[in-house]
């Protein structure tokens, strides 16, 4: 129902997205998109690039006087770093022979692939010996525009009282002790947002920052895990009828598509494999006057993480997304030069040293896109008032 494509190189003029299938008649708040973009840029462990960029979205199609038309929506984020790269990245003109000292350095160091990055596999695949042709698009800079698209989807779901949260539960060796989802998500979000690493627990936060500092001192990088929580979803999004319709698979695919992500867990996740059924499955209760989104059914535990049979069960969606450490290391690993085939050291580009604080924000965005797609499948997709009618009819139908 809701599809999108993104385009743009990390150091090119702009990032662009075309979103198709967004319903008509929805009042978009651009400030709320920009708010999500600013959240993604924050966080302890970022490198020099984030001091240059201050991402803001521009809408160039599909919205008129702030209201969606049902036509494709085009979003743009201009790269502020672009003027520093025009000689190297110009889409039409040949490489400038008049590069500054810094540009000359950047222009030549692109034949020594970084282990862990797309450099080598992408270079072989597309037959690029100049690995800049790979790394510019493989860069996680692309997540900026995905967050913008996700912020649109999120606004649509928030209109139906769906709430989003995320926080960091691990950075390198430092883990937040497991705890149930907080009662008040708005208050939780406020606390998380105050933390430089997006971890609401003060003592864990301090240890996380110390771990990033220690890695940076040794010119190394750190990965980690973010948890995304979505509250207020009705029972019934997604389907078991075909494998590709299962919402858990769709959500996992979306999260796995974030650069550096190596694992996704839902609810109890991998731990469920080690327990007996009686210690895993969430018993079912009913309250006649209970939440209409859940038809009055509720659970006292949420090991399923809000999904059963590939369908939302009305409980909080709990997703954990694990990312490996950044692969650009200031202490370069061994590699092979793709032109000489001589042993070498991996190229060093300006880099972040830990991006896990941003991971939850990107996670919220891609999750919002999958959920909005499933919501539109269930309640209709052309016009907001039509969707509202269908949703209210669902709420008013007892089961
Ligand atoms: C990235 C390398 C760094 C990051 C970038 C992702 O960029 P640069 O090479 O310009 O210093 O800052 O992330 C972003 C620009 C961003 O907006 O998140 C990489 O190689 O993936």
CA–CA gap between residue 159 and residue 32 (Å, rounded) = 13
202 in contact with ligand 1, CB cutoff 6 A: no
Give percent of the chain above pLDDT 70.
99
β pairing state of 3-7 and 14-20: antiparallel
pLDDT digits (tens, 9 = 90+) for 217-259: 999 999 999 999 999 999 999 999 999 999 999 999 999 999 9
More confident residue, 287 or 348: 287
The pLDDT of 110-115, averaged and rounded, is 94
* Ligand 1 atom with least separation from CA of 143: 18
* Ligand 1 atom with least separation from CA of 349: 9
Q: Which residue minimizes the CA distance to atom 12 of ligand 1?
A: 49
The predicted pLDDT at position 351 comes to: 82
Angle, CA of 395, 296 and 311, to the nearest 5°: 70
140 in contact with ligand 1, CB cutoff 6 A: yes
pLDDT at position 102 over 90: no
In a domain, 286, yes or no: no
pLDDT at position 373 over 80: yes
Q: What total number of domains does the chain contain?
A: 1
Compute the distance from residue 244 Cα to the ligand 1 centre, in Å.
Answer: 32
pLDDT digits (tens, 9 = 90+) for 161-206: 999 999 999 999 999 998 889 999 999 999 999 999 999 999 999 9
pLDDT digits (tens, 9 = 90+) for 118-128: 999 999 999 99
181 in contact with ligand 1, CB cutoff 6 A: no
The predicted pLDDT at position 114 comes to: 95
Compute the distance from residue 312 Cα to the ligand 1 centre, in Å.
Answer: 35
Compute the distance from residue 55 Cα to the ligand 1 centre, in Å.
Answer: 13
pLDDT at position 25 over 70: yes
CA–CA gap between residue 225 and residue 176 (Å, rounded) = 10
* Ligand 1 atom with least separation from CA of 48: 11
39 in contact with ligand 1, CB cutoff 6 A: no
349 in contact with ligand 1, CB cutoff 6 A: yes
Please, are residues 65 and 100 in contact by the beta-carbon 8 Å criterion? Answer: no
pLDDT at position 96 over 80: no
CA–CA gap between residue 131 and residue 126 (Å, rounded) = 10
The predicted pLDDT at position 314 comes to: 98
- Computed over every residue of the chain, the mean pLDDT equals 95
Burial class for 217, CB neighbours closer than 10 Å (0-12, 13-18, 19+): exposed
pLDDT band at 302 (very low <50, low <70, confident <90, very high): very high
In a domain, 122, yes or no: yes
In a domain, 310, yes or no: yes
Please, are residues 345 and 332 in contact by the beta-carbon 8 Å criterion? Answer: yes
* Ligand 1 atom with least separation from CA of 328: 20
CATH number of the structural domain spanning residue 173: 3.60.150.10
116 in contact with ligand 1, CB cutoff 6 A: no
In a domain, 107, yes or no: yes
* Ligand 1 atom with least separation from CA of 47: 12
Which of 42, 103, 140 to mutate for ligand 1's pocket (most ligand atoms within 8 Å of CB)?
140
pLDDT at position 100 over 80: no
Q: What is the CA radius of gyration of the chain?
A: 22
Q: Which residue minimizes the CA distance to atom 9 of ligand 1?
A: 350
SS3 track for the chain: CCEEEEECCCCCCEEEEEEECCCECCECCHHHHHHHHHHHHCCCCCCCHHHHCCCCEEEEECEECCEECCCCEEEEEECCCHHHCHHHHCCCCCCCCCCCHHHHHHHHCCCCCCCCCCHHHHHHHHCCCCCHHHHHHHCHHHHHHHHHHHHHHHHHHHHCCCEEEEEEEEECCEECCCCCCCCCHHHHHHHHHHCCCCCCCHHHHHHHHHHHHHHHHCCCCCCEEEEEEEECCCCCCECCCCHHHCHHHHHHHHHHCCCCEEEEEECCHHHHHHCCHHHCCCCCEECCCCCHHHCCEECCCCCCCCEECCEECCCCEEEEEEECCCCCCCCCCEEECCCCCCEEECCCCCCCCCCHHHHHHHHHHHHHHHHHHHHHHHHCCCEHHHHHHHHHHHHCCCC
pLDDT at position 109 over 70: no
CA–CA gap between residue 352 and residue 27 (Å, rounded) = 36
Please, are residues 292 and 394 in contact by the beta-carbon 8 Å criterion? Answer: no
In a domain, 105, yes or no: yes
Compute the distance from residue 292 Cα to the ligand 1 centre, in Å.
Answer: 44
User: What are the residues whose beta carbons fall under 8 Å from the beta carbon of 189, sequence distance 6 or more?
Assistant: 165
Q: Is the pTM of this model over 0.85?
A: yes
Q: State which residues form the domain around 330.
A: 3-267+304-395
- What are the angstrom distances between the C-alpha of 226 and each of 95, 160, 187, 262? 40, 25, 18, 12
47 in contact with ligand 1, CB cutoff 6 A: yes
Q: Which residue minimizes the CA distance to atom 15 of ligand 1?
A: 141
Burial class for 276, CB neighbours closer than 10 Å (0-12, 13-18, 19+): exposed
- What are the angstrom distances between the C-alpha of 396 and each of 126, 135, 235? 54, 51, 13
């Amino acid at each position: 129902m809701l599809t999108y494509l993104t385009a743009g190189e990390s150091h090119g003029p702009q990032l662009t997205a075309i979103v198709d299938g967004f319903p008509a008649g929805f009042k978009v708040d651009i400030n709320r998109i920009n708010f999500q973009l600013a959240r993604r840029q924050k966080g302890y462990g970022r490198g020099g690039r984030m001091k240059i960029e201050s991402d803001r979205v521009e809408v160039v199609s599909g919205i008129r006087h702030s209201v969606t038309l049902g036509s494709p929506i085009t979003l743009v984020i201009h790269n502020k770093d672009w003027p520093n790269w025009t000689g190297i990245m110009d889409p039409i003109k040949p490489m400038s022979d008049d590069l500054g000292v810094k540009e000359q350095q950047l222009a030549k160091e692109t034949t020594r692939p970084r282990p862990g990055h797309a450099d080598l596999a992408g270079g072989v695949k597309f037959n690029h010996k100049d690995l800049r042709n790979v790394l510019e698009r493989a860069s996680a800079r692309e997540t900026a525009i995905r967050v913008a698209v996700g912020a649109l989807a999120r606004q649509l779901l928030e209109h139906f009282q769906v709430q989003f949260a995320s926080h960091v539960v691990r950075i390198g060796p430092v883990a937040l002790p497991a705890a149930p989802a907080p009662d008040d998500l708005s208050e939780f979000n406020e606390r998380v947002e105050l933390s430089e690493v997006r971890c609401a627990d003060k003592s864990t936060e301090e240890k996380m920052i110390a771990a990033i500092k220690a890695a940076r001192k040794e010119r190394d990088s750190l990965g980690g895990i973010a948890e995304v929580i979505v509250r207020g979803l009705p029972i019934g999004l997604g389907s078991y009828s075909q494998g590709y319709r299962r919402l858990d698979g769709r959500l996992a695919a979306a999260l796995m598509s974030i650069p550096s992500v190596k694992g996704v867990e839902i609810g109890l996740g991998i731990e469920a494999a080690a327990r007996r059924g009686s210690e895993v499955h969430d018993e079912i209760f009913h309250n006649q006057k209970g939440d209409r989104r859940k038809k009055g059914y509720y659970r006292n535990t949420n090991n399923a993480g809000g999904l059963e049979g590939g369908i939302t069960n009305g409980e909080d969606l709990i997703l954990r997304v694990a990312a490996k450490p950044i692969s650009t290391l200031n202490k370069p690993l061994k590699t092979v030069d793709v032109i000489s085939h001589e042993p070498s050291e991996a190229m060093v580009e300006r880099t972040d040293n830990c991006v896990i604080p941003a991971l939850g924000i990107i996670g919220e965005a891609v999750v919002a896109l999958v959920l909005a797609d499933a919501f539109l499948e269930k309640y209709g997709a052309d016009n907001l008032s039509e969707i509202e009618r269908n949703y209210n009819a669902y709420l008013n139908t007892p089961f």
